[in-house]
Amino acid sequence: MTKFKFPSAYTILFVLIALVAALSWIVPAGKYEMTMNEALGKEVPVAGTYKLVEGNPQGIVDVLLAPIDGLYNHDTYEAGAIDVSLFILIIGGFLGIVTKTGAIDAGIERVTDRLRGREEWMIPILMA
């Protein structure tokens, strides 16, 4: 008997994209009228103005292109979250290198040695 292996994050995300695309064929589309709320500084929906609009059911091509369109929309050529994704990749690479070399562990050990008796200072130092 094989052990159950939890699916990867990519598998879960793809299943969720496919599920939401399937629901776009079932759930009727609608929208509210919007008005500007000066106190909030943004548009807010007006209560009681919900009405059905023409749906936009998603097909297989839309499901396959969804991860790409989230980063860079192939229809409008507008960047989506690619800047955030690249930032996370760069920070992840930096942390991977620093962790692999042991620099963080050595730094924490050195600060701990110097703060003997004043360990409560470690919390703000490590948070920074």
pTM of the predicted model as reported, rounded to 2 decimal places: 0.57
Report the run of H or E that residue 36 belongs to, with start and end.
strand 34-37
So what's the pLDDT on residue 60?
95
d(CA 69, CA 80): 7
Q: How distant, in Å, are the alpha carbons of 61, 62, 112 from that of 20?
A: 14, 11, 50
So what's the pLDDT on residue 35?
95
Spatial CB neighbours of 7, under 8 Å, sequence gap ≥ 6: 15
What stretches in the chain show pLDDT beneath 70? none
So what's the pLDDT on residue 57?
95
Pick from 11, 14, 49: which is nearest to 30 by CA?
Answer: 49
